[in-house]
């Protein structure tokens, strides 16, 4: 079995399977900083005969860090059909970013208007809205950090005393306020009352209300019903489950986040992921360009470029940016209602392009 294709194989092949290569990301958008990485994406073509082999043809090839990625032509067109914004923009890259462009790729570029559809606009906005949602969630995490300890179910329990003549009747108390030790108690379900339990005090010999983090009901002897019952226990398991999910999500985010990007948040200078927020507005502005000009916007210059850079440098308040983003979404909704863009790319035209580009590449090699 042949070894998997690598980037070195693509670049070293005398047939030059790479038909397109470009710097992408912040360097192409005009939003890079001195610390920004250089990301590269490209497209490669393999002979049609390779797809008739039992050996698998890789849909894409990347380096270990994922900074450099080459897409096989069928995979590229598949992603374009899915209206992936990061793939569609490869057809509109600034000339100074492109390092390889062949006649085979020219065929794709000349047909690029086919790929600009309402679906392409919607994917831009969908990505942007996802970033807004992500920013809101991360804003919550920045301003409400979670402790290391997992949420304790007992913090979601409330005790209602059986007889509390000195207090307002049936007022729930926290376990701390009531002095109740659930390890010394048993519970039995209260009929017709979800999440409510009769609470019985047995002292140190009790098995406890919670075992392994789970509530366990016990059969109660009839003679204990009157002598051991001390009141009712309310257990808000749904709130506890949400708290556990939030805790897990927070620590997953905390452990996987890019510390350099969050340095200003730790210092209290900003309360959001500035880079994600910048991409939110970049996608919204690119979506606006699709509706107004029929092309996505890759390179930003002038006031828009400065606006994006200011966002990235944390110069705006979080709430102001969210308000601005939501206003821009409303504006785009109005523009979309007036749009004459086709709904989506014609599959047959994409397949015809696949064959034409492959044939052009194969012919250029065969005629050398």
Among 12, 69, 17, residue whose Cα is nearest residue 38: 69
Please report, for the domain that includes residue 96, its CATH number.
3.30.460
* Per-residue model confidence as pLDDT tens digits over 198-241: 999 999 999 999 998 899 999 999 999 999 999 999 999 999 99
* Per-residue model confidence as pLDDT tens digits over 352-366: 999 999 999 988 865
Residue 132 has pLDDT above 70, yes or no: yes
Do 127 and 175 belong to one domain?
A: no
For the ranges 55-64, 115-124, 128-137, 147-156, which has the lowest average pLDDT? 128-137
Do 307 and 360 belong to one domain?
A: no
What local confidence, expressed as pLDDT, does residue 3 receive? 74
- The whole-angstrom separation of Cα 293 and Cα 289 is 5
Which domain range does residue 217 map to? 153-241
Q: Count other Cβ atoms within 10 Å, centred on residue 53.
A: 11
What local confidence, expressed as pLDDT, does residue 111 receive? 94
Do 180 and 223 belong to one domain?
A: yes
Q: Over the chain, what is the mean pLDDT?
A: 87
> Sorting pLDDT into bands at 50, 70 and 90, what band is 142?
low
In the chain, % of residues over pLDDT 90: 60
Query: 26 vs 344, which has greater pLDDT?
Result: 26
Do 179 and 123 belong to one domain?
A: no
Do 160 and 57 belong to one domain?
A: no
What local confidence, expressed as pLDDT, does residue 137 receive? 63
Residue 368 has pLDDT above 50, yes or no: no
What local confidence, expressed as pLDDT, does residue 57 receive? 81
The whole-number average pLDDT for the span 130-145 is: 68
- Domain count for the chain: 3
Do 66 and 213 belong to one domain?
A: no
What local confidence, expressed as pLDDT, does residue 171 receive? 84
* Per-residue model confidence as pLDDT tens digits over 310-347: 999 888 888 899 899 989 999 999 999 999 999 888 88
Do 105 and 5 belong to one domain?
A: yes
Domain assignment of residue 327, yes or no: yes
Domain assignment of residue 251, yes or no: no
Do 130 and 275 belong to one domain?
A: yes
Query: 271 vs 119, which has greater pLDDT?
Result: 119
Chosen domain end from 241, 273, 295: 241
Domain assignment of residue 11, yes or no: yes
The whole-number average pLDDT for the span 9-27 is: 88
- The whole-angstrom separation of Cα 31 and Cα 231 is 63
pTM for this model (two decimals): 0.67
> Sorting pLDDT into bands at 50, 70 and 90, what band is 34?
confident
The whole-number average pLDDT for the span 47-64 is: 83
Residue 267 has pLDDT above 60, yes or no: no
The whole-number average pLDDT for the span 148-177 is: 85
What local confidence, expressed as pLDDT, does residue 367 receive? 44
Do 272 and 218 belong to one domain?
A: no
Do 14 and 103 belong to one domain?
A: yes
Domain assignment of residue 285, yes or no: yes
Domain assignment of residue 249, yes or no: no
The whole-number average pLDDT for the span 55-76 is: 90
């Amino acid at each position: 079995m042949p070894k998997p294709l690598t980037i070195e194989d693509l670049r070293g092949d005398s047939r030059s399977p790479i038909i397109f290569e470009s710097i992408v990301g912040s360097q192409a958008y005009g939003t890079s900083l001195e610390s920004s990485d250089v990301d590269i994406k490209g497209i490669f073509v393999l002979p049609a005969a390779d797809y008739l082999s039992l050996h698998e043809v890789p849909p894409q090839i990347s380096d270990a860090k994922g900074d450099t990625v080459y897409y096989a032509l069928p995979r590229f067109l598949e992603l374009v059909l899915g209206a992936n914004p990061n793939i569609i923009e490869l057809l509109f890259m600034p000339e100074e970013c492109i390092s390889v462009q062949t006649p085979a790729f020219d065929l794709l570029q000349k047909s690029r208007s086919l790929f600009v559809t309402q679906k392409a606009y919607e994917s831009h906005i969908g990505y942007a809205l996802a970033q807004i949602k992500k920013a809101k969630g991360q804003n919550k995490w920045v301003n409400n950090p979670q402790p290391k300890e997992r949420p304790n179910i007992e913090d979601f329990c409330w005790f209602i005393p059986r007889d509390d003549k000195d207090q307002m009747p049936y007022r729930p108390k926290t376990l701390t306020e009531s002095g109740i030790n659930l390890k010394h108690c048993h519970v039995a379900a209260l009929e017709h009352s979800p999440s409510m339990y009769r609470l019985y005090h047995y002292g140190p010999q009790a098995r406890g209300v919670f075992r392994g983090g789970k509530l366990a009901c016990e059969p109660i002897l009839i003679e204990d019903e009157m002598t051991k019952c001390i009141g009712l226990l309310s257990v808000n398991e749904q709130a506890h489950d949400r708290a556990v999910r939030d805790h897990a999500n927070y620590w997953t985010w905390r452990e996987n986040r890019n510390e350099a990007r969050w340095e200003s948040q730790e210092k209290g200078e900003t309360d959001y992921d500035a880079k994600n927020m910048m991409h939110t507005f970049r996608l919204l502005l690119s979506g606006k360009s699709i509706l107004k000009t029929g092309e996505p916007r890759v390179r930003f210059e002038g006031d828009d470029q400065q606006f994006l850079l200011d966002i990235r440098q944390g110069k705006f308040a979080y709430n102001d940016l969210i308000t601005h983003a939501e206003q821009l979404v409303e504006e785009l909704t109005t523009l979309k209602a007036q749009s004459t863009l086709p709904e989506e790319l014609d599959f047959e035209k994409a397949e015809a392009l696949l064959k034409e580009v492959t044939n052009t590449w194969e012919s250029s090699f065969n005629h050398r």
